[in-house]
Structure 1
Amino acid sequence: MALTDRHHRTHSSLRISIVDKCDLRCTYCMPEDQQFLRRDELMTREEVVRIARLFVDRYGISKIRLTGGEPLLRRDVVDIVRDLASLGVNLGLTTNAVSLHEHLDALWQAGLHNLNVSLDTFDAERFKRIARRDLYTQVWNNIQAAYDKGMRIKLNVVVMRGVNDDEILRFVELTRERHLHVRFIEFMPFAGNHWGRERVYTYAEMLGHIGSVHSFEKLADDPHSTAKTYRVQGWRGTFAVISTVTEPFCGTCDRLRITAEGRMRNCLFAREETDLLSALRRGEDIAPLIEANVLAKHAMLGGLPPFRPEKQEEVLHDLSSRPMVSIGG
């Protein structure tokens, strides 16, 4: 049975947050004083796998990405990866790469070969201001080690006007000789991240900036891709833009989310959640809850108004109370 919503979108991708804690404090992701869940509030390894298996076996989910928080902070992350890899899905993991050196070989052997890695700057001092932690060198060294290992890497860059928009070309330069996929992400609104439409460096501006220096070609995207992909002519890697703010891609969305405490969200910006974990722990069948959650999915942006300048106050008023870190990237 496929999970199809009222807007005729069939869902094949599941993002599972396995922890809400993080060893960075990125300004666009969380407030500095973010409070985290207790261990007993998190899904256990067995619960993560039971829920994932149901999505795969009953609903045909073919792609799972583990997120956080920082998933590498889970002591059993390698075991979870091994369990999920056995389901035969396209498996990935999103990380800030701070502790990647401690897990890289074990993750590879467990069956993980796809990483989404967050890096917003090449400047150590700027990294410290954005992440509120002085760990740039460690992160960059770990990214290079993962690339050398053979990991397929998507490098995620949240572009913020006046903060790091001057580094776009340097990130594109990474794709000259490396099979890297660099993804520029428009700055999105979440609770506590001081979003303002004026701080959004737009998709059109990014392409204009890159195009003023490089000739690039548009590549074919997966029908459900969040990113619009390009390649500088003759270069090995690719770059892309995720234009959630200025050109949302809700019409082709095939993604569902589970938070670290087992709540299902049908959109990154959803204001309603379904508590799967409590029902699972009571021994109830969670399938009806999953199906109802999908049917309740809004046509666009979780029911929020468009992220236009004149709608800014309305957007900020209607946001979910969750910061990005507690949703799962």
Structure 2
Amino acid sequence: MRRAQWTALCSSRAGRWLSSSTAPTHRSSGAAAIFHRQGSVAQIHALALEKEFQSPDVDHQDGDANFLSNEKIRSPLTKKDLEVDFLNRRSGTEEIAQVSDMLIDSHGRRHNYLRISLTERCNLRCNYCMPAKGVELTPNSELLSQNEIVRIASTFVHGGVDKIRLTGGEPSIRKDIEEICEQLRSLPGLKYLAMTSNGIVLSRKLPRLQAAGLNQLNISLDSLVPAKFELLTRRKGHNKVLESIDTALGLGFDPVKVNTVVIRGVNDDEILDFVELTRDKPINVRFIEFMPFDGNVWKSKKLVSYMEMMDKIKQKYPSIYRKKDHSTDTAKNFQVEGFQGTVSFITSMTQHFCSGCNRLRLMADGNLKVCLFGPSEVSLRDAIRSGMQESELQQVISDAVKRKKAAHAGMFELARTQNRPMVHIGG
């Protein structure tokens, strides 16, 4: 998408937001002037919205009964939609990953996908990822080195992992990111090397990362309105993210996945605008249900469910249809008829996908986490630094995988369970 198109879309979206009944009203000479003027009205709107975002809702109480009785949570999906969902999850026609017993848990799930957090540092401060007061960073000496990352990854790939995703923090700020990509991509058996990035510094690095073997990409973008972007991330850089999406499209990444965490009262009014991004470009917009992590002040009333989002989308785009998912997909995938791109939903809160989970997480400090929401961790850093042999390391991994539970707790139990901030775990 050309920069002029991005600017027009975002300016249009900003203008509608500023003139809407939910935003404070101020006289202005146009959206373009507002968002490019120092000390602008946009900053006032951002501050006002931040106050609204943080203020408690005294008219509603969190709780299973109140939340689940909400009309907006009830399914707008047709019987056909539900049948497709069932068949997608139960289909046995997909190629079964060839993995060793080390990566098969006690429930028969085969883990061929490893997410590696390269750093706890980030150049944004997203509300849903990092507590307002920040986080205590692990000392550099306790983080995995490049050689340690590659050694541990090699063990997983040898066991059957064929996809690795690099996360953070923000992985692109790590100075040796290109060397890490080159070494990981050279591991025999690895098919996919992916990365999730906030896009702030990605544009200038992406050509070299692609040359080093990066072949899948997710870019986080939670608002098309610059002021709301600054509210959510506590930093500037909206244009840089758009530039990174443009660069990725120009380099031929297909699709370019755009991750959007949807939060009620903040960006849920932009759902249709994000769908529109998929009209003419190979963009896969991935709407993510707001999830609870330490410090992100999760409340059920902020959660916009997958079914509520679908209801809104179907009203404007009745031709949207369900695509076939792989049984291990975390996303429910759709496409508006005639659109080039696709729309997906990560439904961790309202319709978990634990039965098909094939993912493991290696955090920047070397701890292995077998479930995003599970509190248990085991240190692979300490294992290899103690001189552990390969067979012993494999046993440590196997034991951790075998302890993985069949499913995570319900959303309200998760909200009460202590877990690390997302920036520590890895996005």
Q: With structure 2 as the length reference, what TM-score do the two structures score?
A: 0.73
Q: Distance in 2 between matches of 1:91 and 1:202?
A: 30
Tell me the CA shift for residue 323 of structure 1: 0.3
Q: Which residue of 1 aligns with 2:165?
A: 65
List runs of 5+ in structure 2 lacking aligned partners: 1-99
Misfit runs of 4+, over 2 Å? 314-317
Q: Distance in 2 between matches of 1:263 and 1:124?
A: 36
1:128 matched to 2:257: no
The count of residues paired between Structure 1 and Structure 2 equals 319
User: Given the alignment, which residue of 108, 115, 127 partners 2:217?
Assistant: 115
Q: Which residue of 1 aligns with 2:121?
A: 21
User: Given the alignment, which residue of 279, 296, 301 partners 1:198?
Assistant: 301
Percent identity, aligned pairs only, is 43
State the Cα deviation string for residues 65-90 of structure 1 (Å, max 9, x = none): 01101001110000001111112331
Which structure is higher in strand share?
1
Tell me the CA shift for residue 38 of structure 1: 2.0
Q: Distance in 2 between matches of 1:81 and 1:16?
A: 12
Amino acid at match of 2:341: G
User: Given the alignment, which residue of 391, 397, 402 partners 1:290?
Assistant: 397
Q: Which residue of 2 aligns with 1:97?
A: 199
SS in 1 for 2:257: strand
State the Cα deviation string for residues 157-216 of structure 1 (Å, max 9, x = none): 000011100001111101100011110000001000000111100000010000000020
Q: With structure 1 as the length reference, what TM-score do the two structures score?
A: 0.95
Tell me whether 267-276 or 3-12 shows the greater mean CA deviation: 3-12
Q: Which residue of 1 aligns with 2:426?
A: 328
User: Given the alignment, which residue of 251, 268, 285 partners 1:182?
Assistant: 285
Q: Which residue of 1 aligns with 2:8?
A: none
Contact 2:216–2:253 under 8 Å retained in 1? yes
Tell me the CA shift for residue 227 of structure 1: 0.2
User: Given the alignment, which residue of 147, 160, 166 partners 1:46?
Assistant: 147
1:225-304 equivalence runs, <5 A: 225-284=329-388, 285-301=392-408, 304=409
User: Given the alignment, which residue of 227, 242, 246 partners 1:140?
Assistant: 242
Tell me the CA shift for residue 142 of structure 1: 1.6
Contact 2:192–2:215 under 8 Å retained in 1? no
User: Given the alignment, which residue of 304, 326, 350 partners 1:222?
Assistant: 326
Q: Distance in 2 between matches of 1:218 and 1:276?
A: 40
List runs of 5+ in structure 1 lacking aligned partners: none
Q: Of the two, which has the highest radius of gyration? A: 2
Q: Distance in 2 between matches of 1:315 and 1:75?
A: 35
Q: Which residue of 2 aligns with 1:170?
A: 273
SS in 1 for 2:292: coil
Q: Which residue of 2 aligns with 1:160?
A: 263
User: What is the RMSD computed on CA atoms of the aligned residues?
Assistant: 1.0
Tell me the CA shift for residue 101 of structure 1: 2.2
Contact 1:113–1:150 under 8 Å retained in 2? no
Contact 1:13–1:256 under 8 Å retained in 2? yes
State the Cα deviation string for residues 64-120 of structure 1 (Å, max 9, x = none): 101101001110000001111112331100100100123111101101121111100
Q: Distance in 2 between matches of 1:315 and 1:64?
A: 26
SS in 2 for 1:182: strand
User: Given the alignment, which residue of 206, 211, 217 partners 2:314?
Assistant: 211
SS in 2 for 1:271: coil
Amino acid at match of 2:416: H
Which structure is higher in helix share?
2
Contact 2:373–2:414 under 8 Å retained in 1? no
State the Cα deviation string for residues 5-62 of structure 1 (Å, max 9, x = none): 11111111100101011000000001132222222121111110000011011x1111
Amino acid at match of 2:299: G
Q: Distance in 2 between matches of 1:205 and 1:27?
A: 22
Q: Distance in 2 between matches of 1:140 and 1:30?
A: 22
